Amino acid sequence: MTDTTTEASVASASAASGPALSRAALAAAGQPLPAAPVRLVHLGLGAFHRAHQAWYTAHADDAADWGIAAFTGRSPDAADQLRPQDGLFTLIVRDERDDRAEIVPSIVEAVSGDDVSRLVELLSAPSTAVVTLTITEPGYRSRPDGSPDLDDPAVASDLVELRGGGRPATTIGRLVAGLDARRWAGAAPIAIVPCDNIPDNGRFVRAAVVGLAEAAGLSETAAWIRDEVSFVATSIDRITPRSTPDDRAAAEILTGWVDAAPVVTEPFRDWVLEGDFPAGRPQWESAGARFVDDIEPFERRKLWLLNGAHSLLAYAGLLRGHETVAQAVGDPELRAQVEAFWDAACRHLPDGLDLPAYRAALLERFDNARIEHRLAQIGQEGSAKLRVRAVPVLLAERAAGRDGAAAIAALVAWAALQLDGAAPPDAAEEAIAAARAADEPVTELLRLLDPALADDPAIVAAVAAGVAAGRGSAGHDAADREVAGA
């Protein structure tokens, strides 16, 4: 798709001041990257979208036909950075030894999320075929079953806006406004493709969108969405940490172009999808994506083994004074905890997933110390993440008559950080504060994750004992500093 790929080591080089990235400047330099027509809309213009869906789209055989209009979720910053660059950005693929950079051209329009008019215009256009999302777990403002959280003030405010034809402020509210306009415009049904780490994410987002449309009284649109719009389930994988100022210098050294918004990622990538695309889609399979009839085994393997281990390493690692995944997994005590958690999880995964190879590859990926994936970032939103990454393994172990100790370890570390007020930020902070103030705080913290945990006296006792033993352990002060500086 582009011949601008460059390989270099950035270890000892220093940044020069090169030309600013833009399509005109690239064309003038003999490296044209023409903008494809917009047929994809993305909501949640963050690092992961650029390392994953934008990469797959750019590498599809029919990339010239598929441009992305990408909207930010909350702040307009990413759009403000990418707009002067015509959506172009540098993707730095970082392995254990080297960096490899490419300029990715698939985002052709970067838009602030509050530009609801542009979103409505694009979703009304028959040429728009797919909406992808990466807005983080709390961004859906849903209950655990996916239905909209009608007690959330932002959701309540959106209902008023949607009823009055106004401008919703949540991403799902904006999506409902766009789909309502599409139905009125008579355009063909579309595919919605959530790319967040949520189990059964297609069904989850369908419940959010249909539920909000119904609650807003848009009954015909709700029925159209339920019956015609396709919600595709995905398992998405590429470890992509938050960018740092050093990454900008690295991008310029690698490509010669000044880029305000490069993204660093690992070489590994995976995308599994299940569902229909009634208005068409890019040939993502030509870039390595897999379309399957049953996504559940892939999704569980990834969420439990990769993300479950990430969360375990985040909380237990912060408690022991580590800052990154590579540091934490290099700690023999934590590596053993990860292996034990994987042993437990694998007992509840189906055959045929080549789990030994998957586990070995994960350890290699976690060991890549040049990817500085910070535990304080991974540890954010722990109540939503643990619910789907560690709790299912624990409940499966308990149902099989075992104590679930390996999965309990992640909950112990999370609860210990919560009780000391040292955990990374969580959108459920009010409920967490109430749990901490309760007579039995451990029980109430567990109830937040899943009521079944609070109803199991053996789990409550094991977590309480682990918390009592672990609080005040060596490294805890360092964890406090890490979280405070996140």
Ligand X SMILES: O=P(O)(O)OC[C@@H](O)[C@@H](O)[C@H](O)[C@H](O)CO
What residues line the site for ligand X (CB under 6 A)?
A: 197, 237-239, 306-307, 310, 378
Residue 194 CB, shortest distance to ligand NAD, in Å, is 9
74 binds, among ligand NAD, ligand X, none (CB under 5 to 8 A by kind): ligand NAD
Residues whose CB falls within 8 Å of the CB of residue 273, separated by 6 or more in sequence, listed in order: 193, 232, 233, 234, 284, 289, 290, 291, 292, 295
Region for 256 from its dihedrals, namely left if φ exceeds 0, alpha if ψ lies in -120 to 50, beta otherwise:
left
139 binds, among ligand X, ligand NAD, none (CB under 5 to 8 A by kind): ligand NAD
Which is nearer to ligand NAD, 42 or 182 (by Cβ)? Answer: 42
The residue of the chain with the least Cβ separation from ligand X equals: 310
Residue 111 CB, shortest distance to ligand X, in Å, is 22
135 binds, among ligand NAD, ligand X, none (CB under 5 to 8 A by kind): ligand NAD
Region for 459 from its dihedrals, namely left if φ exceeds 0, alpha if ψ lies in -120 to 50, beta otherwise:
alpha
Which is nearer to ligand NAD, 50 or 183 (by Cβ)? Answer: 50
387 binds, among ligand X, ligand NAD, none (CB under 5 to 8 A by kind): none
Q: Which stretches of 113-170 are assigned E, i.e. beta strand?
A: 130-133
Kindly report the number of other CB atoms within 10 A of residue 376's CB atom.
Answer: 21
Which is nearer to ligand NAD, 240 or 327 (by Cβ)? Answer: 240
Residue 58 CB, shortest distance to ligand X, in Å, is 19
Helices 171-185 and 201-215, axial angle in degrees (round to 10): 70
337 binds, among ligand X, ligand NAD, none (CB under 5 to 8 A by kind): none
Sign of the Cα pseudo-torsion (338, 420, 327, 353, in order): positive
Dist. CA 382–CA 316, nearest whole Å: 13
Residue 113 CB, shortest distance to ligand NAD, in Å, is 7
Among 151, 22, 13, which residue's Cα sits nearest to residue 83?
A: 22
Q: Sheet containing 233-237: which strands, arranged edge to edge?
A: 233-237, 270-274, 290-291
306 binds, among ligand X, ligand NAD, none (CB under 5 to 8 A by kind): ligand X
Which is nearer to ligand X, 149 or 270 (by Cβ)? Answer: 270
Residues whose CB falls within 8 Å of the CB of residue 340, separated by 6 or more in sequence, listed in order: 405, 406, 409
What is the binding site for ligand NAD (CB under 6 A)? 44-49, 72-74, 134-136, 138-139, 171, 196-197, 236, 238-240
Which is nearer to ligand X, 119 or 409 (by Cβ)? Answer: 409
Dist. CA 133–CA 137, nearest whole Å: 11
Which is nearer to ligand NAD, 72 or 418 (by Cβ)? Answer: 72
Which is nearer to ligand NAD, 234 or 337 (by Cβ)? Answer: 234
Q: Sheet containing 38-43: which strands, arranged edge to edge?
A: 107-111, 67-71, 38-43, 130-133, 191-194, 230-231
Which is nearer to ligand NAD, 72 or 443 (by Cβ)? Answer: 72
Please answer whether residues 156 and 150 qualify as being in contact, where contact means their C-beta atoms are separated by less than 8 angstroms. yes
Residues whose CB falls within 8 Å of the CB of residue 261, separated by 6 or more in sequence, listed in order: 78, 81, 82, 85, 89, 243
307 binds, among ligand X, ligand NAD, none (CB under 5 to 8 A by kind): ligand X
Residue 458 CB, shortest distance to ligand NAD, in Å, is 32
Dist. CA 91–CA 101, nearest whole Å: 6
Residue 376 CB, shortest distance to ligand X, in Å, is 11
Residue 421 CB, shortest distance to ligand NAD, in Å, is 22
Residue 45 CB, shortest distance to ligand NAD, in Å, is 5
202: enclosing H helix or E strand: helix 201-215
